[in-house]
Structures are given as structure tokens and as C-alpha cells.
Amino acid sequence: MRAINRAAVLNTIRRNGGISRTEVARSTGLSPATVTAITAELIKDGLIFEKASGNSRGGRRPILLALNPHGGYVVGIKLTEEHVFGALTDLEATVLAKKTGRLDNQRLDTAIDAIVAVVSSLVAKTGIARGQLLGVGVGLAGIVDAREGTLRHSPIFGWRDVPLVGLLLSHLHVPVYIDNDVNTLTLTEQLFGVGRGIESFLTLTIGRGVGMGIVVNGQLYPGRHGGAGEIGHMVIDPDGPLCECGHRGCLETYVSDPHLLRMAHEAFESGDLPADVTEVEQLLELAGAGNAVALAIYAQAGETLGRTIANLINTLNPMEIIISGEGMRAADFLVEPLRATVDRHVMAGLSGDTEIRIDIMSDDAWARGAASLVLQELFKTPLYRSELVPTLSTLD
């Protein structure tokens, strides 16, 4: 109960920015004495601080409390098939330092060593004490059982049933959390981005693949063992192109960057494009120059995405859908056919319920999202915390 009360007080202060102890007590339903004791503990731990006095209605001006962004630091890691992207952030997910490591091969021990090296480099670069590092979050593509700390399947690496948290804990000696990379990005949107304060929303990412994060009633929905949101493998046509997952006609084979390049290559071989296209930038350049074939490739992808999003709205009726990922560099060519298709296929009674937002993310957004895995645990009510590793409030 003490830990639950502590989490309630900390979250109230985090959400409100500057708030008095009296207002915290009123908001949480806790007694003034309990709030005073908990806030004294949080100040001692460096997680909150007293800022400027608030307005007075007569009598003594109240002291306002706020989250101390420098009360601790976390590292977020985005693991791809060729690189390890790392970012060290404060408690408000502000990136203070970045580091990129290269993977020479796709062996598990190589990836572990690279992650540890990036974390160590970031700590050394910023000069923070090891005791100030509250944890490390790792995001990667695939089916991740975050509760068990296990990577169940990575099509990119070919890994199965890897106890990734345990392996990293033995090297890093701080709490470690892992999740699907789209879920980590969704957490960032929920804690600090356009999903803040939205009870039910979806984050859809387009790029090398297609993924989805699901927030229902304020909680990230992982599915039974972390498999929720693998929308890229929704079958569009069972006789369609072969997907990396081994099946045919998955959504990814119609809208992801590698498959858009495949369609461009086929257009070149048929004589419809003047030059072979091997990089996404080339396809974007052709579309920007008004090439009809390149524009048609993006329009077809936009329509396919639009039908998918309409199905999501008809099924889940979310308040908001956020579309992000490196594939949204082509937003100028995708969004118009996407929105038009959504309008055609959403049920009349649901039309207008869901706001579709385009969020062109920065290069460090994925690592910042992974850092949010740790921040989520810091702010989470203990009833919902992971039991895998020590909670952040017990690290003293």
C-alpha cells in the first residue's frame, strides 16, 4: 500500500508539473500527513523538487512540487539487423547523449556485447554515476514477451526463445526491460507525445516493416505473450508476394519500403521506369518529380493502408491513430489516398470518431521510446509492475 501511494503521488506531480501538497492530497485522496511523508521521501530520492511558490488565496503561499528531470537517467536501445542505436535520457525522456554501434554479424553474443558497449559509452560520455542509471530499455522488431523478458521470435535475426533480459542483466547490473520496438514508440507517445491523455489509441509504424502499438483504457495491450500488434502480417492476399515471415500476401508485402522497391524494380524491368530503383530515396525523388509510376506505387500503398486503418476503426473504434515510422517520409504521396480510402470504408456511424495523426519522428525516436520502458516502470502503479527485475524504488 505504501508503494501504491508513492506511485500515486509521483504520478500526480509528474502530470501536473507544479502542484502543491494540498492539491496532491485532494487529487489522490490521501491524507495531508501521508502526502507530506511521501513527498519528503521523493525529495530525498531526488525524484521531485520544490519549485517557485504558487498563488495564495490569503495566508502563506503554497510551495509547488515538480518532477526533477535530473533525479535519474535511463538508456534506451533500438536494436536493428545492422546497428545498435542508443540514447541516454533524463526522467522527461529528453535525449542528453546518443551513440551508434555497428553489428558485424547477427549472432546473439555480438548483439549483447554491442548493447553493453553502447550503454557503457553513454554513461562515460555524460559523466553520470552508475548509481544514477535507473535502467536500460531495449526495443527490437519481433514477438517479445516483455513480462517474461524473452524474445520469442525475431524474423530479422532468426532468434527464438532468447532470455534477453537475463543475458543483459548479467552484464549491466541495472534493471533491464525489453519490448517490441513499436510498443516502445507507443509508450513515448503515451507518456510525452501526441497520445498523452488519450485513453485509447493506436500507433501504426511504416518502414522496413509494419507494426502497431495498442493502448486501451490507458494501458498498453501486449496480448497473451507479447504478440499483439503484428498487423504487418495481416493477410491481404494468400496468393500474394512471399513475406519474411514465410507466408504470402501479408500487409508488409504491399506497403513496406523493401516491397515498394520491389514494385519499382518490376516496373523498371517492364520498361515503365527509366532507371532501376534500389534505394527509397530514389523512389521518393521520382515521386517528387511527378513520375506517374512512382506516384502510382505510393498511391496503391496508401489505399492499402487506408483499407487497413478503416478496418481498425470499424473493429476497435479508437480515439486516435498515430501513423509514424521512417516510411512516412513519403507522407506527401501516401496520406491523401490513405485518408480518401478511410473515408470510403469506415462505417457511417463511426465516421469522425477517430482522429488520424501523422507524426514524422526524429532519428532518435526509437531509442527514446526504448528509454520509456524504464520510465514506465518508474511511474507505474506497483500492481502492474514487472516482477522480473527489482523495481526502481528498491534500488537504494
Count Cβ atoms within 10 A of the Cβ of residue 297 and give its class: 0-12 exposed, 13-18 middle, 19 or more buried: buried
In which region does residue 97 sit, left (phi positive, over 0), alpha (psi from -120 to 50) or beta (all else)?
beta
| CATH ID of 73-188+364-394, from 3.40.640.10, 2.40.160.40, 3.40.50.1000, 3.30.420.40 | 3.30.420.40
Q: Are 358 and 335 in contact (CB under 8 A)?
A: yes
**Mean of the pLDDT values across residues 296-323?**
96
Helices (H) and strands (E) in the chain, counts: 12, 16
d(CA 135, CA 226): 21
Q: What's the chain's Rg over C-alpha atoms?
A: 23
Phi, psi torsion values for 131, nearest 5 degrees: -70, -15
Q: Are 180 and 210 in contact (CB under 8 A)?
A: no
d(CA 198, CA 187): 12
d(CA 72, CA 129): 10
CA atoms within 13 A on the CB side of 258: 10
pLDDT at 389 over 50: no
Higher-scoring residue by pLDDT: 57, 245 = 245
CB atoms inside a 10 Å sphere around CB 343 = 12
Where are the chain's structural domains? 2-67, 73-188+364-394, 196-358
Q: Are 333 and 302 in contact (CB under 8 A)?
A: yes
Q: What is the pLDDT of residue 58?
A: 54
Are domains 2-67 and 73-188+364-394 of this chain identical in fold? no
**Mean of the pLDDT values across residues 33-37?**
94
d(CA 127, CA 145): 33
Q: What is the pLDDT of residue 54?
A: 55
**Which of 130-144, 298-312, 350-364 has the highest average model confidence (pLDDT)?**
298-312
pLDDT tens per residue, range 159-208 = 999 999 999 999 999 999 999 999 999 988 888 888 888 999 999 999 98
Q: Are 367 and 85 in contact (CB under 8 A)?
A: yes
Q: What is the pLDDT of residue 20?
A: 92
Q: What's at 82, amino acid-wise? A: E
Does domain 2-67 sit in CATH 1.10.10.10? yes
pLDDT at 383 over 80: no
Q: What is the pLDDT of residue 111?
A: 96
CA atoms within 13 A on the CB side of 92: 12
CATH no. of 196-358? 3.30.420.40
Phi, psi torsion values for 300, nearest 5 degrees: -65, -40
CA atoms within 13 A on the CB side of 97: 16
Q: What is the pLDDT of residue 388?
A: 46
Average pLDDT, the chain: 89
| Alpha-carbon distances, residue 47 vs 69, 71, 144, 215, 384 (angstroms) | 7, 5, 30, 27, 20
- Point out the least confidently predicted range of 79-93, 221-235, 244-258, 361-375: 361-375
Higher-scoring residue by pLDDT: 95, 379 = 95
Which band of pLDDT confidence, cut at 50, 70 and 90, is reported for residue 382? low
pLDDT at 393 over 50: no
Q: What is the pLDDT of residue 363?
A: 64
CA torsion angle 294 325 212 387 (round to 10): 160
pTM score = 0.82
pLDDT at 90 over 50: yes
pLDDT tens per residue, range 240-270 = 999 988 899 999 999 999 999 999 999 999 9
By DSSP bridging, strand 133-140 and strand 176-180 are parallel
Q: Are 177 and 386 in contact (CB under 8 A)?
A: yes
Higher-scoring residue by pLDDT: 365, 74 = 74
d(CA 190, CA 75): 18
Count Cβ atoms within 10 A of the Cβ of residue 201 and give its class: 0-12 exposed, 13-18 middle, 19 or more buried: buried
d(CA 233, CA 240): 12
Q: 3-state class of 13 per DSSP? A: helix
